[in-house]
Amino acid sequence: MNTRFSEVGTELLRCMTCLHPRNSFSEFNVQKLVRLCDLYPEDFSTNDCIVIEQQLQNFIHNIQRDSNFSEIKDLGSLAQKMVETLKNQAYPLVYRLIEMTLVLPVATASVERVFSAMKTIKTDLRNRMGDEWMNDSLVVYIEKDIFSTIENEQILQRFQKMKSRRMQLPPLSYPKTTRSIDHTQH
């Protein structure tokens, strides 16, 4: 894991696993979860980091004794059950930490995907590409599965109808050539 992720990334993953509800929260660790808050100062103020320690201790004590949470197997179900039992209001900082832990892998993967696509789109030959053009190109590249379902003719027709066109685009289907090869003469 150390070769795949940076030191901070590895620490982040280790801290996130402390919230997993498996085996009655056997991995639960207040210090690592407070550290997770420290890693995100824009989401958790200094005061939040102080208050959350007590909230985490109360939360784990309460949740492990609550039969509503005995069958919880994953973090998403934990968040859902917290909302159903209104524990998200009793432990708002813990709930924010759970939400962040659920969103981080998706957000991180999306950012990684964009940077990977950027390497393909912005090459040495296209190094003067403006931000707007690059953003548009990235959207098309990243969402190529969606764009592949759109016919080229539809795209051309849409551009033809735009008022700001400098000139009309040629039709997509080109007429057949009038010159044909006569195979009988050869």
| Helix residue ranges per DSSP H, the chain | 7-17, 22-25, 30-38, 46-65, 75-84, 87-90, 92-121, 131-142, 144-147, 152-161
Identify whether residues 80 and 153 lie together within a single domain: no
Q: Are 17 and 27 in contact (CB under 8 A)?
A: yes
Domain count, the chain: 2
Is residue 97 included in any domain, yes or no? yes
Task: Over range 92-100, report the average pLDDT.
Answer: 89
Q: What is the mean pLDDT of the chain?
A: 75
Identify whether residues 16 and 72 lie together within a single domain: yes
Higher pLDDT, 158 or 5: 158
Identify whether residues 19 and 92 lie together within a single domain: yes
Is residue 52 included in any domain, yes or no? yes
Q: What is the pLDDT of residue 173?
A: 60
Identify whether residues 74 and 136 lie together within a single domain: no
- 3-state SS class at 120: helix
Between CA 100 and CA 159 the distance in angstroms is 41
Identify whether residues 73 and 135 lie together within a single domain: no
Identify whether residues 104 and 131 lie together within a single domain: no
Identify whether residues 92 and 138 lie together within a single domain: no
Whether residue 179 has pLDDT greater than 70: no
Is residue 179 included in any domain, yes or no? no
Is residue 74 included in any domain, yes or no? yes
Identify whether residues 102 and 140 lie together within a single domain: no
Host domain of residue 41: 7-108
Q: What is the pLDDT of residue 154?
A: 83
Is residue 154 included in any domain, yes or no? yes
Identify whether residues 23 and 103 lie together within a single domain: yes
Identify whether residues 101 and 136 lie together within a single domain: no
Is residue 39 included in any domain, yes or no? yes
Identify whether residues 16 and 104 lie together within a single domain: yes
pLDDT band at 86 (very low <50, low <70, confident <90, very high): very high
